[in-house]
């Protein structure tokens, strides 16, 4: 899968490139708006990651020009300004999604995954990892065929983690997607940590293999085996 990253800050650009390449994407980096625009119009990409604050031609200008050229490649914008107007402006111009800097890398990955599989229905009703099973219809969770009683929040949390199994999920993602709190400055981190602890006690502690792992400083991941 081909991704074009238009970002002038070389450290950020290289970090994104490395991170994406680890996830087996093929990455091309453009350091200026002009270069990015040229690449985007001459080569085919599956996704464009576009920084809004670029020297010379701004990200929004490039986005406008691309959309005028009937270029339908999904665009994910990176912005340092998280004011609602800025985000709305980006989305109105034709961006498909946005991530506010400084972003958590797992979040960037999750959004890229979501954008690149867009159009394909991916709403499995039964989620599974090793011997852990979650049924979205009956809202039943079992492990080794044993029923696990979860509160509503714990169920939603587990469902989200299962849908992103194998990928690290940050607290910001959980706050927004599970708690539906869009403001970035709420004291939810502690709440999330306590819920994770309880979830772990119910679905991991009684069993031999541990599935829910904490990645220090980043977030949580649900996967089999050790790091």
What's the min distance (Å) between Cβ of 206 and other proteins? 20
Count other C-beta atoms under 10 Å from residue 84's C-beta.
9
Phi, psi (rounded to 5 degrees) for 141: -120, 130
Q: Which is nearer to other proteins, 66 or 168 (CB)?
A: 168
Between CA 126 and CA 132 the distance in angstroms is 11
In Å, how far are 15, 33, 35, 125, 220 from 169, measured between CA atoms? 18, 31, 33, 20, 5
32 or 214, CB closer to other proteins? Answer: 214
Indicate the residue among 137 and 183 with the shorter CB distance to other proteins: 183
Binding site for other proteins (CB under 8 A): 82-85, 102, 171, 179, 181-191, 194-195, 198, 215-218
Least distance (Å) from other proteins to the CB of residue 83? Answer: 7
State in angstroms the smallest separation of the CB of 122 from other proteins: 29
- 9: nearest Cα among 104, 80, 88: 80
> 172, 190 in Cβ contact below 8 A?
no
- In the complex, least distance from residue 84 CB atom to other proteins, rounded to whole angstroms: 6
Query: Which CB sits closer to other proteins, 146 or 215?
Result: 215
Residues with Cβ within 8 Å of residue 72, at least 6 apart in sequence: none
- Is the Cβ of residue 120 or residue 216 nearer to other proteins in the bound state? 216
d(CA 167, CA 213): 11
CB 73 → other proteins: shortest distance, Å? 30
């Amino acid at each position: 899968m081909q991704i074009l990253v238009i970002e002038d800050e070389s450290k950020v650009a290289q970090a994104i490139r490395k991170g994406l390449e680890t996830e087996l994407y093929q990455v091309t980096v453009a350091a200026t708006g002009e270069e990015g625009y040229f690449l985007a119009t001459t080569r085919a990409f599956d996704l464009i990651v576009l920084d809004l604050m670029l020297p010379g031609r701004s990200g929004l200008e490039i986005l406008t020009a691309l959309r005028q050229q009937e270029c339908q490649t999904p665009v994910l914008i990176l912005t340092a300004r998280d004011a609602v107007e800025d985000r709305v402006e980006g989305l109105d111009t034709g961006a498909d999604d946005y991530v506010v800097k400084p972003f958590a890398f797992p979040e960037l990955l999750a959004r890229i995954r979501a954008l690149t599989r867009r159009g394909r229905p991916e709403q499995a009703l039964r989620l599974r990892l090793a011997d852990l099973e979650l049924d979205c219809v009956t809202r039943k969770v079992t492990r080794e065929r044993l029923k696990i009683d979860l509160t509503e929040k714990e169920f939603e949390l587990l469902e989200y983690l299962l849908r992103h199994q194998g990928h690290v999920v940050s607290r910001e993602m959980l706050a927004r997607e599970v708690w539906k709190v869009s403001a970035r400055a709420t004291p939810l981190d502690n709440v999330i940590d306590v819920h994770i602890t309880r979830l772990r006690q119910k679905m991991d502690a009684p069993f031999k293999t541990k599935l829910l792992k904490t990645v220090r400083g980043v977030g949580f991941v649900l996967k089999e085996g050790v790091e």
